[in-house]
Structure 1
Amino acid sequence: MLRRLIKNAVDRNLARRSPLGTGAGYAAFHGGNGLSQHKGLAERIVPRGVLPRAPYKLFGCPLSTGAVSLGTKELVSGGNVAQKAVSRWLYVCSGWVFGMVVLGGMTRLTRSGLSMTDWKFTGSLPPLSAEEWEKEFDKYRQSPEYRTVNKGMSLDEFKFIYWMEYAHRMSGRALGVVFALPFGYFLVKGYITRELGARLGVLLAMGAGQGLVGWWMVKSGLEEPATEGGHARVSPYRLATHLASAFVIYSGLLWTALSVASPSPPSPHLPQVVLQSMARMRRLVLPVSGLVGLTALSGAFVAGNDAGRAFNTFPKMGDDWIPEGILALQPTIKNFFENTATVQFNHRVLATTTLLSIGAVWLASRGLALPGPASKLITGAVHMTLLQVSLGVYALLSYVPVHAGVAHQAGALTLFTIMVALAHTLRRPFRGVTETTRLMNRLGQSKYFLRCLSFSIVSNA
């Protein structure tokens, strides 16, 4: 009966209106008044529970719980409170992973990663007495790294690198608790939809697997060097795998947090010019985001081969633009992962390509009808890329001091964060909107809604 009354109102009154152009929908998309002018209008007419619940925000415009559904694709059930709680939890987990990546870089740069020569899935207490410290130090003195790199190290020096590695490992286990306990709570409360539950289950499994990948990486550094006179260090392949896995987990958490906080915008609300602009930029932003990730991954091979302490000149590598011996190893493919000159050259080329590509994204965005946040993120990406290249050059010229290396790794993840947020802002609008929801959306944008509905009710009485 309610739908019939609404349909009558639409047939009699919306026919006299001009087609929806770039008014309410465009304003709502950019955070203007738009739909927020009619906040709660349907609530005052239709009893709660009759119509589907709406997300607490539409393109940044808050809507009260119980309002008509505006066709957004929600990952959380339970209304406003649930959406805020789940999104904040996921943002905390994302930030935690960010911090772990930075701490991992610091652990590597201080050569602390091989200080703990065993691994337990649940972790263990650190040494608490002088006797326990001597026992741990004795284990380390038997490792290849001590003999080839840190021979003669004092107990106090060992304690520093041990605490660095211990903090990195325990922060990962703490993250598991911070993720798993609220996840279980939200499941019991019924906040997690099936789609969101599947995503989070995969991320939880990947997080548990990341600990195993980390130990697999460390174990490679506890083996004897492959060449006589070589130094003990972790495999660059395993280091790159560990970093790539961290980036995947981080991007998955961040994307999911953004999706919970800002459900996908329904395309009926967006003018065609906005949809076309978003599609055009999406075709550029997605591959450039992949390029940013690839550049960061190439940095893992630079770190794994200690290539940052070679060819410490810029823009040339020594006296040459392309160094000699760049294809010296056989088979040729090994040069791209194990040759110091080649991995640094690749990283330079990829970094330069990333800088030019993000500059091209900025130029392509000029004059397009894009969401306000997208324009700001594009500008931020340009600034962050310039800063990141500067940090890389500084680290190279100064022989990679710890603070410069850590800042460069944090900068890479910051730029990646901006690109993920930009891709999310430009994501393809959700098209699974029912005809009833579309009708209600149009009614919510009409300043004549109340008068039309009242007239229809009187006419059908």
Structure 2
Amino acid sequence: MIESRLISLLRRSKSVAQKLSSSNPREWKTFTTPCGFSNEHQSRFYSSLQRFIPAARTPVARSCVGYGLRSLLQSNCKNFYKPPFRNFSTAAPVSAKDTGGLKLLAGPHAQKAVGIWLFVSAAWVFSMVVLGGVTRLTRSGLSMTDWKFTGGLPPLSDEEWLVEFENISNPRIQTLWLVWAWHVSSNLGHSRVNKGMSLDDFKFIYWMEYAHRMWGRALGIMFALPFSYFLWKGYITVRLGLRLSGLFALGAGQGLIGWWMVKSGLEEPTTEYAEPRVSPYRLAAHLTSAFVIYSGLFWTALSVVMPEPPAESVAWVQGAAKVKRLALPVSFLVGITAVSGAFVAGNDAGRAFNTFPKMGDTWIPEDIFSLKPLVRNFFENTSTVQLDHRILATATLFSIGGLWWSSRKLDIHPAIRSLIGSTMGMAALQVTLGISTLLSYVPVSLGTAHQAGALTLLTLMILLNHTLRRPSLQLLKTLPSVAKTV
């Protein structure tokens, strides 16, 4: 009686599984280890079954154990068997079998949300760099002589403003008043040197620095809250989470680097007539760190929304590989030029030798190696720093021009060709902005535009290198040799 029931049950489970498999084979298939039962466990179960139930030795029972037992376990072990979580998760990476080795940073349903968040974060950092340039050019950084981690309310009454105004009685800041007054007169066209800095003038530079600090803290909140939500929902893979955690740590340290930079401008001068100025090394570290954070966010955002580069033929992939060999050193040169611009800003080198192409009456100033040891000249000597930036900017322009010229006859994707042309145009515009800023004695408008132009050029180079990536193996197998032309 028991033997016949067992055989009937096994036959029934096999027939049900066959029907379900034919109707929806993707969901109902043979699992090698259902409920933790491996093939070895099934063989042991079948052997023990033969000892106690003779009918289990029949051909029907043997055929049912291999397949029907799995279906039986699937249908009766609902508490143990669960479909793969990846089928429902929007964050789990697609397996290498499905993508030919391509590793997604976010699931298909999470790509849009995570991508938008990262692009907004990158744009926010871009605006921070521009606002920081305005703060530097208006000499606003030294208006706040303290730094509070939790922030604080600005002065709201006249008495509070007077107290804050009196806090900057440092001799370095007193000298800053005259420098700021000269700066305003050179930009606004009227003299205020004899008047010094009024309370209204102080309020202007105070609000600039306060806005820069609060904008940075708002960026931290805007980044941390969605990041926590996406982690809680499982929208972010481990690989992406580690990368974003590193970028968040850099952003948190950026505020400390900023105060470390400002603090250098409040220290006593080494000479009696030294102009109040932050350390060029600290300013370069602050600006370079911002560029690194922006580049990391922008590259990651592109990787989330565009896991595969545009490719429609093997010939275009081969052409992109040739362009990439040229684009990488050009990108490195763009980055070095941007860092040298930070030292130009830190040494106020833009307000010296306001002629072009010569530097004053000569091509090369005589004092470019006046400091000892020799290496200090490349970071602290105004003449050397500006000469270096001129040479690097010119080399960058010609390098991008060479990249554009070399790619003209290559068989590449139209998007890559368009990006190279845009990069060439932006490089020419950036050099024009730099020369105009120099000849105009660094007005706030042109100086800010020049700094934003450097970040825009870097953005185009990042986008170009991201587009030049090699496609996944699965995509390469499906590409024709030559792209179809309409």
Question: How does the TM-score come out when normalised to structure 1?
Answer: 0.77
Asked whether 1:136 is paired with 2:180, we answer no
Instruction: Output the aligned Cα RMSD.
Output: 2.7
CA shift at 1:50, angstroms? 9.2
Asked whether 1:189 is paired with 2:219, we answer no
Aligned with 2:103 (options 65, 69, 73): 73
Distance 1:327 1:388, change over 3 A: same
Name the SS for the 1:182 alignment partner. Answer: helix
Which residue is equivalent to 1:35? Answer: none
CA shift at 1:364, angstroms? 1.3
Asked whether 1:228 is paired with 2:306, we answer no
Alignment of 1:225-374 (within 5 A): 225-265=269-309, 271-374=313-416
Counterpart of 2:161, as a letter, is W
1:283 and 1:113 map into 2 onto residues whose CA distance is 41
Counterpart of 2:366, as a letter, is E
Counterpart of 2:401, as a letter, is G
Which residue is equivalent to 2:186? Answer: none
CA shift at 1:273, angstroms? 2.2
1:360 and 1:54 map into 2 onto residues whose CA distance is 49
CA shift at 1:272, angstroms? 3.3
Please say if residues 308 and 399 of structure 1, whose CA atoms lie closer than 8 Å, have aligned partners that are also in contact. Answer: yes
Which residue is equivalent to 2:155? Answer: 127
Structure 1 runs (4+) deviating above 6 angstroms are 49-56
Counterpart of 2:249, as a letter, is A
CA shift at 1:438, angstroms? 8.8
CA shift at 1:51, angstroms? 12
Residues 290-342 of structure 1 deviation map (CA, whole Å, 9 limit, x = unaligned): 11111111111111111111111111111111111111111111110111110
CA shift at 1:53, angstroms? 6.9
Residues 362-383 of structure 1 deviation map (CA, whole Å, 9 limit, x = unaligned): 0111122222221111100110
Counterpart of 2:343, as a letter, is F
Percent identical across equivalent pairs? 62
Asked whether 1:216 is paired with 2:244, we answer no
Distance 1:51 1:209, change over 3 A: closer
Name the SS for the 2:167 alignment partner. Answer: helix
Please say if residues 121 and 297 of structure 2, whose CA atoms lie closer than 8 Å, have aligned partners that are also in contact. Answer: yes
Please say if residues 141 and 147 of structure 1, whose CA atoms lie closer than 8 Å, have aligned partners that are also in contact. Answer: no
Which residue is equivalent to 2:248? Answer: 204
Counterpart of 2:326, as a letter, is L
Please say if residues 142 and 266 of structure 2, whose CA atoms lie closer than 8 Å, have aligned partners that are also in contact. Answer: yes
Asked whether 1:168 is paired with 2:221, we answer no
Residues 146-175 of structure 1 deviation map (CA, whole Å, 9 limit, x = unaligned): 235448311100000000000000000000
Tell which deviates more after alignment, 217-226 or 272-281: 272-281
2:120 and 2:411 map into 1 onto residues whose CA distance is 32
Aligned with 2:200 (options 156, 159, 173): 156
1:189 and 1:211 map into 2 onto residues whose CA distance is 29
Which residue is equivalent to 2:138? Answer: 110
Please say if residues 221 and 234 of structure 1, whose CA atoms lie closer than 8 Å, have aligned partners that are also in contact. Answer: yes
Distance 1:265 1:376, change over 3 A: closer
CA shift at 1:419, angstroms? 0.4
1:429 and 1:224 map into 2 onto residues whose CA distance is 56
1:51 and 1:163 map into 2 onto residues whose CA distance is 51
Q: Which runs of 5+ in 2 are unaligned?
A: 1-20, 27-82, 180-195, 480-486
Please say if residues 145 and 231 of structure 1, whose CA atoms lie closer than 8 Å, have aligned partners that are also in contact. Answer: no
Residues 367-415 of structure 1 deviation map (CA, whole Å, 9 limit, x = unaligned): 2222222111110011001111000010111111110100100111000
User: Rg larger in 1 or in 2?
Assistant: 2
